[in-house]
Amino acid sequence: MKVSSTKLPGVLIIEPQVFGDERGYFMESWSQQRYKDAGIEHDFVQSNVSKSAQGVLRGLHFQNPNPQGKLVSVLAGEVYDVAVDIRKGSPTFGQYEAVVLNAENHLQFYVPEGFAHGFCVLSESATFCYMCTNYYDPQADASIAWNDPALNIDWPITSPKLSEKDDKALNLGAINIDILPVYRP
């Protein structure tokens, strides 16, 4: 497995070792010790799968308190995946990292606690998998506008299909700062 750091400390791109032949492929998608050695020391307590049509954008989501770190991957199709540092006091506050995840490259993206997360579907549809370090807490759930001009995310889509929640999300600067996570060096 190859682990690549990004410009955002703690955000990682993981390339699992894939063994394939004419029959298909095999890969280890999670091994606690191997991922701990790579710097992902959280326990995962919940695993989710979503399927979305082309043009769907989900995010930018976070929850606080009870933040969730996420290890995400694509089982079918292709997405543009984004992590945004929203930790108060962080030297990289408001900066983002993005990666294309698809069923062919088998990449995984680790988004630590304290970051907002979102993705848009580039293929006809995409089956998206994410393991979470904390349980979903609807009382702590929040969204940031996907097109916040201050974040300047270079989305490969201009008119996404959004949920009502995401369509009404506020820009990061308009969110009550008290609900944002705190940076802890």
Q: Give me the catalytic one of 35, 96, 110, 130.
A: 130
Q: Counting beta carbons within 10 angstroms of the beta carbon of residue 104, is it exposed (0 to 12), middle (13 to 18) or buried (19 or more)?
A: exposed
Tally of CB atoms within 10 A around 29:
13
Q: What is the CA radius of gyration of the chain?
A: 16
- The contacts found for 164-172 with CB under 8 angstroms, 24 or more apart, are 166/57, 166/58, 166/59, 168/143, 169/60, 169/143, 169/144, 169/145, 170/143, 170/144, 170/145, 171/144, 171/145, 172/84, 172/86, 172/94, 172/144, 172/145, 172/148
Q: Annotated catalytic, 136?
A: no
| Options 42, 61, 106, 117, the catalytic residue | 61
42 given a catalytic annotation: no
CA dist., res. 146 & res. 111, Å (int): 17
Residues annotated as catalytic (active site), given as ranges = 61, 130
